[in-house]
Amino acid sequence: MNPFVWKVRVYWEDTDAGGVVYHSQYLNFFERARTEWLRAKGVHQAKIAEQENVLFAIRHMDIDFISAARLDDELDITVRNVDAGGVRMTFEQDMTRCSDRQLVAKAKLTAVCLRADNFKPTRMPRWIRAEISRN
């Protein structure tokens, strides 16, 4: 699968007093890339919660912080190796600084499909599984 790439710029609000990206912001950057990847596949999360009664939640995430991202850095964030099952999806993501192609962080995660009305696991609608499995 070719990776989906989403760009983000680091702003003041993303950094600590030293101009280094605060560790929790990496999670936000990874999340935004996954959201934009879904949107590019035609899967709009607010719409599927309302119309399909499903949403996605992160079940597990491993992050390796490799190099500091800093104020004004432009970052490429990838989504790749998506494996969609009945209820679970697994992803790999990389965050790379554009200026020097330095790997900043990488993540492996599992998301689950839940019913929006009671947060219990449910099978992913077939059309969503088909779209996210498509290259």
CATH label of the domain that carries residue 42: 3.10.129.10
- What's this model's pTM, rounded to 2 decimal places? 0.92
134: in domain: no
- Which residue segment(s) compose the domain that 115 sits in? 4-128
Quote the DSSP letter at residue 113: E
124: in domain: yes
Per-residue confidence (pLDDT) for residue 103, from 0 to 100:
98
- How far CA 41 is from CA of 23, 26, 29, 129, 130, in Å, comes to 29, 23, 19, 10, 10
58: in domain: yes
10: in domain: yes
135: in domain: no
pLDDT (tens digit, 9 = 90+) per residue, 28-82? 999 999 999 999 999 999 999 999 999 999 999 999 999 999 999 999 999 997 8
Interval 104-123 mean pLDDT: 97
- Residue 130 φ/ψ, nearest 5 degrees: -65, -45
Catalytic residue status for 16 = yes
Per-residue confidence (pLDDT) for residue 23, from 0 to 100:
93
88: in domain: yes
Query: Between 132 and 1, whose confidence is greater?
Result: 132
Nearest to 80 by CA among 28, 23, 33, 124: 33
Per-residue pLDDT at 1 exceeds 80: no
Q: Which of 16, 62, 64, 72 is catalytic?
A: 16
133: in domain: no
61: in domain: yes
Query: 117 in helix, strand or coil?
Result: coil
Per-residue confidence (pLDDT) for residue 132, from 0 to 100:
85
Per-residue confidence (pLDDT) for residue 133, from 0 to 100:
82
Per-residue b or e along 56-77, where b marks 16 or more CB atoms closer than 10 Å to that residue's CB: beeeeeebeeeebbeeebebbb
Specify the number of domains making up the chain: 1
